[in-house]
Amino acid sequence: MARFIFITGGVVSSLGKGLMAAALGALLQARGYRVRIRKFDPYLNVDPGTMSPTQHGEVYVTDDGAETDLDLGHYERFTGVASRQSDNITSGRIYFDILTKERRGDYLGGTVQVIPHVTDAIKAFARAETDDLDFVLCEIGGTVGDIEGLPFLEAIRQMGNELGPEGALFIHTTLVPFIAAAGELKTKPTQHSVAQLRGIGIQPQILVCRSEHELPESDRAKIALFCNVRKEAVVPALDADSIYAVPLQYHAAGLDSEVLRAFGITDAPAPDLSRWEDIVERLRTPEGTVHIGVVGKYTGLKDAYKSLTEALVHGGIANRVDVKLRWIDAEDFERGDVAAMLEPCHGILVPGGFGERGSEGKIAAVKFAREHRVPFFGICLGMQMACVESARNTAGLEGASTTEFGPTPHPIVGLLTEWEAGGKRHMRDETSDKGGTMRLGAYPAKLAGNSLSAAAYGATEISERHRHRYEVNIAYRAQLEAGGLVFTGLSPDGELPEIVERPDHPWFVGTQFHPELKSKPFAPHPLFRSFIAAALRQSRLV
C-alpha cells in the first residue's frame, strides 16, 4: 500500500514547495522506493492552459496531453518519472466534473456540497493509480489561510485520519525571516502558520524552514516546542547555489531520514546519491562558459521559460560548461540595434509563444543567426519564425507570414484544423474554445537519416511533446528548401513539418515540438546537448 506525504506551505508563497517535493522524491527514489508526485492547485481555471505565462509561469505538458502546473516539470526533472494527466488537479476541474454530474442527474436529487462531494473527489484524485507505488507525494498549492485552499486541506485531513500514522505524513514548509534591523531570525511567523494549520485539524510531523541564514539550534528547539514536533523534525532549508544541489542539501539536513522515521521504517537502504554528486560537481567545476541569447516575449518573468532554462543548464552539464543566459525582449529588436545585442552571444534561441507581439524581433534574431553563422535553435513559434524569415529573405516570398497574425499572401504557417490523437480525429476552427484545443502531448516524428537532428538523437524515429495551434504549411516545402531550409523531420504521414535545418550552417535547427519538456539533469535532451556543444565551438572561434 502506498504511503502518502502531504506537503503544505505557510507564511508566504514561492517558498519552493514544489522543489522540496521533487528533491524528497529523488531522495526516496535513491533509496530504491517507487515514487509519484502530484500537485493540487486551488485556482478555478480548469487547467493553466489559458493563463498568461506572466500570471503563472510556463504551462508544462505531459505525454498524454495535459496542460499542467510548472511544478510537474520539477517532479519529472528530479525523478525521471513521466508525469500524467492524473498528477495535476485544480479546483476548476473538480467543480467542473461535479457540476457536470449534477446536471446529468448523477446525484439523484441530493444536495451537492463541498463536504462530502468536493472533498471526496479530491481524495479520489489523490488515490488514483497508486497501487504500484511506495510513496505518493501530494503538494497543496498556495499557503495556509487561502480561502480557496480549504477544501484541499479538509480532504487531506480526512485522508490523514483514514490512513493513520503508518499511511500518511504531513510536511509544512514555512519561512523563518531575518529582520536586519533586529539582527535576528524570527520564528513567530512559523508558529502562527502551524497554529493555523492545527486549527484546521492538521498536525504536521515535519517542518521545512526556509531561511537566508543558518537556523541556530536554539531556534530549532523553540520552533519544535511551540509547534509540537521533534527538534530533529525541524529541517533547515537554506538557499542553494543550484537547484540540483537541493537533494544533497536536504539529505544532509536529515529530511529523508526523518520521513522514514515518521513512518516507522527502520530498514531502509542507504541512498545512492552518486547521480546528484556528479551533477553538482559538473555544475561547480565547469571547463568553459558559453553565452546564449534567449529572444522571447515573456522575458520579464523567468518562470515563463522554466523548462527551457533548465534544459539549457542540462546541455551545459553534458558539455561541462557554464551556460550564461542573456534574456532579450524580442520587441527591443524592433527599435534597437540587433547586432549590438546578439554579437556577444555564442548561440541564439527563439522559444515558443503566442501572438504577434515581438514577432518581427524574433524574425530579426533568426536573420542575424543565419547571416552571421551563429548556432540557432528555434522552438515551436521560434521554428515558425525561422520559416517565415527564410520565406521572405531566401525564397523571395514577399509578405510571407503566419495566419495567426492576420491575412498574408504567403501563409507559411496556418491554423491546424484537423489532427489525430488517441485514435480519434480532432477538429477545430477560429471559433473553437481556446482551452485544451491545441495539438497537445507526445507525437511521433521521422527524421532524415543524414540530418543533424538524427545524429544528435542517434535515431530516426522519435516522440516529442507538442503545444501549438498553428503548423508550418507543407505546401511551401519546395520553395523553402530551394532557399536552403530543409525539412528534416516530419510526422509519420509526411504532412506536418516537425524539424527544419540549414545544412550549410554550423548549427541551425527549428523544432515544432518542445524538446525542453523531456530534458533532465541526468539525461540532457540530445538537441540541447548538441546546441550547447555548437555554442562551445562558436565561443572558441571568437
Q: Which residues does the annotation mark as catalytic? A: 380, 514, 516
- The H-or-E segment that residue 447 falls in is strand 439-447
Tell me the residue type at 15: L
The distance from CA 301 to its chain's CA centroid, rounded to whole angstroms, is 14
State the Cα torsion 407-412-413-416 to the nearest 10°: 100
Neighbours of 438 (CB within 10 A): 21
Looking up cell 467543480 gives 95
Looking up cell 520553395 gives 479
CA pseudo-torsion sign 232, 237, 241, 246 = positive
C-alpha to C-alpha distance for 207 and 15, rounded to whole angstroms: 13
C-alpha to C-alpha distance for 54 and 357, rounded to whole angstroms: 14
Tell me the residue type at 76: E
Tell how strand 60-61 and strand 67-68 pair up: antiparallel
- The H-or-E segment that residue 536 falls in is helix 526-539
Residue pair 514/466 in contact (Cβ under 8 Å)? The answer is yes
Could you tell me which residues come within 8 angstroms of residue 311 by beta carbon, excluding any fewer than 6 positions away?
A: 515, 516, 519, 524, 525, 528
The phi, psi pair for 336, rounded to 5°, reads: -135, -175
Task: Pull the grid cell for residue 73.
Answer: 516539470
Burial code (b: 16+ CB inside 10 Å, e: under 16) for 9-24 equals bbbeeebbbbbbbbbb
Looking up cell 510537474 gives 72
Helix (H, G, I), strand (E, B) or coil at 394: coil
Cα 176–Cα 182–Cα 188 angle in degrees, nearest 5 = 35
Could you tell me which residues come within 8 angstroms of residue 318 by beta carbon, excluding any fewer than 6 positions away?
A: 524, 528, 529, 532, 533
C-alpha to C-alpha distance for 156 and 146, rounded to whole angstroms: 15
Looking up cell 520565406 gives 391
C-alpha to C-alpha distance for 257 and 252, rounded to whole angstroms: 10
Cross-strand pairs, 36: 136
C-alpha to C-alpha distance for 424 and 265, rounded to whole angstroms: 46
Cross-strand pairs, 335: none
Could you tell me which residues come within 8 angstroms of residue 56 by beta carbon, excluding any fewer than 6 positions away?
A: 48, 69, 70
Residue pair 463/480 in contact (Cβ under 8 Å)? The answer is no
Task: Pull the grid cell for residue 80.
Answer: 525521471
